[in-house]
Amino acid sequence: MNGEPPKLEFRGRFPLVLPGAGRVLRDPEAHWPPEILERSVVEARAAGRRLVLLAAPDAVHEVLQNQDGAFPRARLHDRMLGASYGDNLVRGDRADWRRQRRQLLQPFNMPGADAPEARIALACERVVGEWAGTPNGAAIDVIRDARRLSLDSLWRSFFCDEKAARRADPLVEATALAMDAHETAALTTHLDDLRPLAAVALEREAAGSGSDTSGETAVDLNTMLLFLHAGHDNVASALAWALWLLAEHPDWQARLREEWRARPTAPFDAGAFPVAGAVINETLRLYPPIMHLIREANRDLDVDGETVPGGFTTVLSLYAMHRNRQWWEAPDAFRPERFLGGAPDVRRRLLWAPFGTGPRGCVGSAFARTEMIVALGTVLDRLELVPEPGERMACRVDFVLRPEGRQAVAVRPAPPRASGGGAR
Ligand code: HEM
């Protein structure tokens, strides 16, 4: 590939007197200085509020673990995400968030349900079949189709048996296309697009919880909206980035294809795909979709031996931590080999946290990983990804870090399997 993959260009200057924190989070390039990629902590004033950006792994983890309750999710976080959904699981630390989290995971375990990977594969094959039918060497809309694929995967995996899934197909497809058409619109528009699907999911959930003897009611509509949104939007961004990075890196593409074709016939185990895992980890290191997590710090915090006095809002910058010059060699380069080899050391694990961690960390990280492995494997088994000349990917932030560059990836038939090789 020509040069490094796209990155954010921070243009802020010290002293940092910033506008309201919401504006800072929506346009981080304009407000934070490039030094956030070299330091562990950067302090600012944002409309009278003390705002502290943290990129030090130990401090970020201490805040996220929130063991003494001194670091609750900030109301600002609610404003950026939760408030738009209405009252729901993400909002602050509402008393019943634990129950809602538990309840959300129930569809995973529906009696008689296929393992998620089988359902994910169905969603992937649909999109890959379409791509295979495009003229040899034609560009695909990788951003639109990553969204279609991830919403369909989530829907099939969580809410439906296959018959019900097929009935809902037109609504799932229409929802993904509507959201794609509103790609740059505000989150509230996306949630309006999702509302009809959330209502159907909720009906199904309510029917399922009829047999629940715990007396707990099913999740509410707003939490279902959050779940449908959080459960596909981040995967869609990460998948589009991964497909583009693989188009730019034919060597990794060939390794991943080979690993997928030689996969064991045993039940799916994400650990059996180290190459795919490394590519996914490196993609999420470079492009963590939720690049900033926001918490209140109600007590002092030790950051690399210095005390930062409590009473501030902290922006835990996964982006700055993942690319920090202090800890990563060639931080802006795509090098999946960082995640291969022996067990990652503890320090490394603390440096990489695209799913957050602690009690409010991502509920869907294992599903997301399965989905991405199956999606990348299914695509590469049939197709070769190539960069479309003259088309670039770029970063776009609307609080979430997203790819921009719909025509940047083209496809042609994959090289055939070596004779006698391959699992199936
Ligand atoms: C690449 C994919 C994904 C990434 C990078 C990601 C990232 C994250 C992060 C960083 C958080 C924590 C936010 C915080 O601490 O303030 C989070 C929360 C959450 N994620 Fe994910 N996520 C992904 C996929 C998924 C999937 C597939 C699902 C559902 C199946 C999901 C459901 C949720 C939910 C419901 C929460 C809120 C948990 C709570 O508030 O207690 N995510 N995600």
pLDDT in tens, 324-367: 999 899 999 999 999 997 655 655 668 999 999 998 888 889 99
Note the pLDDT of residue 330. 94
For the beta sheet containing 312-317, the strands, ordered from the edge strand earlier in sequence to the opposite edge, are: 17-18, 41-46, 49-54, 312-317, 292-297
Please tell me if the CB atom of residue 318 comes closer than 6 angstroms to any atom of ligand 1: no
Ligand 1 midpoint to CA 363 (Å): 6
* Segment 78-116, tens digit of pLDDT: 666 655 555 656 555 555 666 666 666 655 554 445 577
Give the total residue count for the chain: 424
Choice between 187 and 39, residue whose per-residue pLDDT is larger: 39
Given phi > 0 = left and psi -120 to 50 = alpha, else beta, which region is 386?
Answer: beta
What gap in Å lies between CA 188 and CA 211, rounded to an integer?
34
**Distance of CA 101 from the midpoint of ligand 1 (Å):** 11
State if residue 227 touches ligand 1 by the CB under 6 angstroms criterion. Answer: yes
Confidence of residue 376 (pLDDT cuts 50, 70, 90): very high
**Which is nearest to 238 in space by CA: 323, 154, 142, 155?**
142
The whole-angstrom separation of Cα 11 and Cα 27 is 11
406/76 Cα distance (integer angstroms): 32
Judged against a pLDDT cut of 70, whether residue 394 lies above it is answered with yes
Rounded to the nearest angstrom, the distance between the alpha carbon of 230 and the centre of ligand 1 is: 6
Q: Which residues contact 371 (CB under 8 A, 6 or more apart)?
A: 116, 120, 150, 153, 154, 157, 235, 239
On the question of pLDDT at 10 being above 60, the answer is: yes
Mean pLDDT throughout 374-400?
94
- Give me the mean pLDDT over the 63-72 stretch: 95
Q: Are 373 and 387 in contact (CB under 8 A)?
A: no
The response to whether residue 364 sits with its C-beta less than 6 Å from ligand 1 reads yes
Relative to the CA of 318, which ligand 1 atom is closest?
10
Tell me the average pLDDT across 125-152. 94
pLDDT computed for residue 93 by the predictor:
56
pLDDT, greater one: 234 or 158: 234
Q: Compute the average pLDDT of residues 47-56.
A: 93
57 C-alpha to ligand 1 centroid (Å): 19
CB of 359 sitting under 6 A from ligand 1:
no
Where residue 262 falls among pLDDT bands split at 50, 70, 90?
A: very high
| Ligand 1 atom 1 nearest Cα | 235
Lookup result for tokens 């380069």 = 333
> Which pLDDT score is estimated for 78?
65
* pLDDT band of 164, cuts 50, 70, 90: confident
Strand partners, 398: 400
Q: Is the CB of 376 under 6 A from ligand 1?
A: no
Average pLDDT in the chain = 87
Atom of ligand 1 lying closest to residue 237 CA:
1
Select from 61, 106, 232, 234 the residue to mutate for testing ligand 1; criterion: most ligand atoms less than 8 Å from CB.
234
User: Which residues, 6+ apart, have CB-to-CB distance to 127 below 8 Å?
Assistant: 145, 148, 149, 152
Task: Give the position, in ligand 1's atom list, of the atom nearest the Cα of 361.
Answer: 12
Tell me the pLDDT tens digit for each residue of 198-220.
Answer: 988 888 766 665 444 444 455 67
Residue 372 CB–ligand 1 contact under 6 Å: no
| Nearest CA residue ID for atom 39, ligand 1 | 360
pLDDT value, residue 390: 87
Percent of the chain with pLDDT over 90: 62
Cα(389) to centroid(ligand 1), Å:
34
Q: Is any atom of ligand 1 closer than 6 Å to the C-beta of 399?
A: no
What domains appear along the chain, each with residue ranges and CATH number? Answer: 78-297+322-413 (1.10.630.10)
Structural tokens at position 339: 């995640």
Q: Quick one: average pLDDT of 18-36? A: 92
Say if ligand 1 is within 6 A of residue 244 CB.
Answer: no
Mutate which of 60, 64, 355, 362 to test ligand 1's pocket (most atoms within 8 Å of Cβ)? 362
Nearest CA residue ID for atom 23, ligand 1: 234
Residue 46: enclosing H or E segment and its boundaries? strand 41-46
- Confirm or reject: Cβ of 59 under 6 Å from ligand 1: no
> What is the distance in A from the centroid of ligand 1 to the CA of 273?
22
Percent of the chain with pLDDT over 70: 83
Judge whether 188 and 84 are in contact, CB under 8 Å. Answer: yes
pLDDT at 309: 97
Q: How far is the CA of 232 from the centre of ligand 1 (A)?
A: 10
